[in-house]
Amino acid sequence: MISLTELKEEVLQQAQLAKIASKQVGTATAEQKNRALLAMAEKLWARREAIFAANHLDVEEARATGQSESRIDRLILHEKRLKDMMEGLRQVSVLPDPVGEVVESFTRADGLRIERVRVPIGVIAMVYESRPNVTADAAGLALKTGNAVILRGGKEALRTNRELVAALREGLAGSGLSAEAIQFINRTERDSVDILIQARGLVDLAIPRGGAGLIGRVVQHAQVPVIETGVGNCHVFVDAKADLGMATEVILNAKTQRPSVCNAMETLLVHEAVGPAWMRQIVEQLQKRGVEIRGCEQTRSWLEQGAEGGNATILPAGEEDWADEFLDLVLAIKVVKTLDEAIEHIDRYGTKHSEAIVTDDVQAAETFLRRVDAAAVYHNASTRFTDGFEYGFGAEIGISTQKLHARGPMGLRELTSYKYIGRGTGQVRS
Amino acid sequence: MISLTELKEEVLQQAQLAKIASKQVGTATAEQKNRALLAMAEKLWARREAIFAANHLDVEEARATGQSESRIDRLILHEKRLKDMMEGLRQVSVLPDPVGEVVESFTRADGLRIERVRVPIGVIAMVYESRPNVTADAAGLALKTGNAVILRGGKEALRTNRELVAALREGLAGSGLSAEAIQFINRTERDSVDILIQARGLVDLAIPRGGAGLIGRVVQHAQVPVIETGVGNCHVFVDAKADLGMATEVILNAKTQRPSVCNAMETLLVHEAVGPAWMRQIVEQLQKRGVEIRGCEQTRSWLEQGAEGGNATILPAGEEDWADEFLDLVLAIKVVKTLDEAIEHIDRYGTKHSEAIVTDDVQAAETFLRRVDAAAVYHNASTRFTDGFEYGFGAEIGISTQKLHARGPMGLRELTSYKYIGRGTGQVRS
């Protein structure tokens, strides 16, 4: 056990090293950074034996302590997943460098020329849970954008992350950049997170990535700026004038194509004018794909009317079902009387992630798109599109559900800040 | 005295009202909002007697409790200042409405069209000190950008602000928008600030405006996103190859044109190659304008060499002089051996606001502009230009010294967020 004082000293020293290294990577050329990204990928492969051995120990411990299979699955690192990580780093290396981009410029009447230029944020603290791929992703994206990164992963993946970081740092150092630009908090004490996210003057941004519990704790204790990511209680609303064939396609995609991700649908809202016949069809289709349904009273009554056995027995949906992000093959269904009621339901239970309406009524669609307050709103399309790769950003560090700085998918651009650069010939203010 | 429970209930109820009203002003047309801004200006004039009477009481109390003259001056509201407030609202009314602007758009290969559109932030909490003009400025800028605002001004200005807000709300309501979009915390308890800045889900952004103490407290206690503004410990660096005539002009402007503002220079850094002769000249010029000088050892020794009496007696500069934002006719001067030393000094003591270099050496200038980490960096120009009006934004709610969301002068655009709007024809993700 380490004392709180020692822990604080250790973490702050790492933050200090990151701060110093951020000056170097912040002014590195695109070529230097891209070379380093390729070297980092190579070192992951070169050190794969040590990485897999460490991962094996992590997985064994997770099994021994009775972790769930889905958690263990997220933790496991095999050759394919390591290659995906390496491929991710290589993909980032070929993206354009956002640092130094002149976003806008103007010349004052007195001749002073002012440019707004993209610059790195500085030091980014990533606080995340068990998936080890975040380690390589975050290190790569931070480096590409000229930032230093401090990685604080989940305790289940400690050994794996330690080996991954050793490889990444070796790659960085081998290409002439400071290995200190990637810091790893080699501690499992929860206090290490608090120290990190309260290190004003050293840490410029904290990004929590994980479940609602982790994100809530970080937001509550942070004294440095935070970008909240990822909790998605997403809805699809089938309007009175929906093309019901299209609605079926969108719903099946939003719910079942990959139910464990944040942009999957969790609650289906159906206008009452749609009626019981289609409701029975869509529920049947969902159930065929293994989806468990929890319905409002109207939904259940409609299903009972047409029941010849099975699907009348769906569970009633309660408050927690409207609020929960299931991340699983579970769907809550609510019948609403009006577009307004749908929007109000989303307003109350949504997490400002991704929301969709299916309708042929353009006015209803525009009302929905304007009034629903979320990072991404869709008309006649699946919520599953909210993703940095689908948006063509070429990379993604997370999906922001807050309104400051970055909203929705965060790519390279969202990991930068800007500064104003004024070039004059002696101008003074009158 | 109000109990903490009652205070909490009262403040959160106001935040709730602001949240509801934010939906209305957030979707109001530019015409509606502009009409309301003009009505708000008119009502300030219509209710001027009540406003001046309230201000008179505030000023009397400030005098009775022994407040400093500069504080009392900031508090005083006379006809000219009220007219300036009204003019500010009118100027904001003619600026283009940023809400609804399509910032970028792209169409995917599958035909799904995605636009990034500016939207209001929602509910903004302004926490500020004694100057009552912030009340009208913040209300006007928030309304123009479709946001609701919760105003929590300094306790010295409580009566004045209460009357100003009554007029502003009357103007808002008279033009058909909800008066609840402007909330005023009619309480002086410091707890009211904490309740406000911890109201997650109701308050979307807190902007503290005032001294370092106020800003520090808000950052430490906030659980909602914060934008730090305004503390400016700004430097001018006179390089070895500076045009010394130009340097003199820039320095006199940066220090004396308006010493009480955040973009005024607080420390002058001089390359040692510049030498004692010019140092004696600039100090003489500054002293003539009433500037008190605090120098490093080299500065004092140079001044002593040439002293025929007076200016050798300058005070030595200590740690606190390098760190302080004097906001007054006081200047710290340090001689540095290299450009690196100047940059390191700024890095250590600066507040990331505005920094300038005077030099004819383009390479030195570019190094300075690239390496100095501040919202605005200048080559051969005064630090005083960092200002929303000087940048042509037409308005300013403050100057951000942090790197997230907004950096430097914050105009209308910086009071908005964005959302992605996808319009499809049934696209699903494969």
Per-block mean pLDDT, blocks of 10 residues, chain B (430 long)? 93 98 96 98 98 97 92 92 96 96 96 98 94 94 98 96 98 96 96 96 93 89 90 96 98 95 96 97 96 96 75 84 94 98 97 97 97 97 96 91 94 97 97
Does residue A202 contact residue A123 with C-beta atoms inside 8 Å? yes
Q: Compute the CA torsion angle B312, B315, B317, B319 (nearest 10 deg).
A: 160
Phi then psi for A150, rounded to 5 degrees?
Answer: -115, 120
| Closest CA–CA distance from residue A55 to any residue of chain B (Å) | 31
Residue with tokens 């090293």: A17
- Bridging pattern class, strands A408-410 and A398-400: antiparallel
Does residue A198 contact residue B219 with C-beta atoms inside 8 Å? no
Query: A338 is written with which tokens?
Result: 């009006």
Distance CA A426, CA B42 (A): 42
Which chain A residues touch B121 with a CB distance below 8 Å?
403-404
> Which value does ipTM take for this structure?
0.93
Q: Residue B398's beta-bridge partner residues? A: B410
Residue with tokens 């411990």: A61
Distance CA A32, CA A242 (A): 53
Give the three-state DSSP class for B379: strand
CB pairs under 8 A between A and B: 194
Say which of B369, B375, B381 has its CB closest to residue A112: B381
Query: B318 is written with which tokens?
Result: 């200590």
Distance CA B271, CA B397 (A): 36
Residue A1 above 90 pLDDT? no
Q: Which residues of B142-178 are buried (b: 16+ CB within 10 A; e: fewer)?
A: bbbbbbbbbbbbbebbbbbbbbbbbbbbbbbbebebb
Say which of B205, B418, B428 has its CB closest to residue A249: B428
Say which of B377, B380, B404 has its CB closest to residue A421: B377
Distance CA B262, CA A64 (A): 59
The one-letter amino acid at A213 = G
Q: What's the confidence (pLDDT) of residue A308?
A: 61
Q: What's the confidence (pLDDT) of residue A255?
A: 97
The one-letter amino acid at A50 = A
Distance CA B18, CA B23 (A): 9
Which chain B residues touch A378 with a CB distance below 8 Å?
421-424
Which chain A residues touch B365 with a CB distance below 8 Å?
423
Query: B371 is written with which tokens?
Result: 């390496």
Does residue B274 contact residue B244 with C-beta atoms inside 8 Å? yes
pLDDT-based confidence at residue A420 (cuts at 50, 70, 90)? very high
Per-residue pLDDT, averaged over A72-82, amounts to 94
Q: Which residues of A343-382 are buried (b: 16+ CB within 10 A; e: fewer)?
A: bebbbebbbbbbbbbbbeeeebbebbbbbbbbbbbbbbbb
Ordered domains of chain A (ranges, CATH):
4-228+405-423 (3.40.605.10), 234-390 (3.40.309.10)
Per residue in A149-175, pLDDT tens?
999 999 999 999 999 999 999 999 999
Does residue B162 contact residue B53 with C-beta atoms inside 8 Å? no
Does residue A406 contact residue A414 with C-beta atoms inside 8 Å? yes
Say which of A371, A380, A382 has its CB closest to residue B425: A380
DSSP structure string for B159-226: HHHHHHHHHHHHHHHHTTS-GGGEEE-----THHHHHHHT-TTT--EEEEES-HHHHHHHHHH--S-B
Distance CA A278, CA A289 (A): 17
The full length of chain B comes to 430
C-beta atoms of A381 and B407 within 8 A: no
pLDDT-based confidence at residue A70 (cuts at 50, 70, 90)? confident
Q: Residue A221's beta-bridge partner residues? A: none
**Nearest chain A residue (CA) to B367:** A27
Distance CA B182, CA B169 (A): 6
Question: What is the CB-side half-sphere exposure of residue B164 using CA atoms within 13 A?
Answer: 30
**Nearest chain A residue (CA) to B228:** A225
**Nearest chain A residue (CA) to B430:** A257
Give the three-state DSSP class for A380: strand
| Closest CA–CA distance from residue A295 to any residue of chain B (Å) | 24
CB atoms within 10 A of CB A187: 17
Distance CA B5, CA B15 (A): 15
Question: What is the CB-side half-sphere exposure of residue A306 using CA atoms within 13 A?
Answer: 16
Does residue B368 contact residue B241 with C-beta atoms inside 8 Å? no
Q: What's the confidence (pLDDT) of residue B308?
A: 61
Does residue A194 contact residue A221 with C-beta atoms inside 8 Å? yes
Q: What's the confidence (pLDDT) of residue B210?
A: 85
**Average pLDDT over all residues of chain A:** 95
Minimal CA–CA distance to A37: which of A86, A78, A89, A72? A89
Residues 6+ apart with CB under 8 A from B60: none
Chain A interface, mutation test: which of B194, B346, B404, most A Cβ atoms within 10 Å? B404
Which chain B residues touch A370 with a CB distance below 8 Å?
27
C-beta atoms of B428 and A378 within 8 A: no
Give the three-state DSSP class for B1: coil
Say which of B106, B243, B370 has its CB closest to residue A392: B106
Distance CA B416, CA B423 (A): 22
Per residue in A268-287, pLDDT tens?
999 999 999 999 999 999 99
| Closest CA–CA distance from residue A90 to any residue of chain B (Å) | 24
**Nearest chain B residue (CA) to A374:** B419
Per residue in A213-265, pLDDT tens?
899 899 889 999 999 887 899 999 999 999 999 999 999 999 999 998 899 99
| Closest CA–CA distance from residue B163 to any residue of chain A (Å) | 32
Residue A309 above 70 pLDDT? no
Distance CA A280, CA A265 (A): 19
| Closest CA–CA distance from residue A27 to any residue of chain B (Å) | 8
C-beta atoms of B220 and A223 within 8 A: yes
Q: What's the confidence (pLDDT) of residue A312?
A: 54
Phi then psi for A128, rounded to 5 degrees?
Answer: -145, 175
Distance CA A256, CA A331 (A): 10
Q: What's the confidence (pLDDT) of residue A69?
A: 86
Q: Which residues of A73-96 are buried (b: 16+ CB within 10 A; e: fewer)?
A: ebbbbeeeebeebbebbbebbebe
Say which of B121, B379, B429 has its CB closest to residue A422: B379
| Closest CA–CA distance from residue B63 to any residue of chain A (Å) | 33
C-beta atoms of A429 and B257 within 8 A: yes
Query: B194 is written with which tokens?
Result: 């904490």
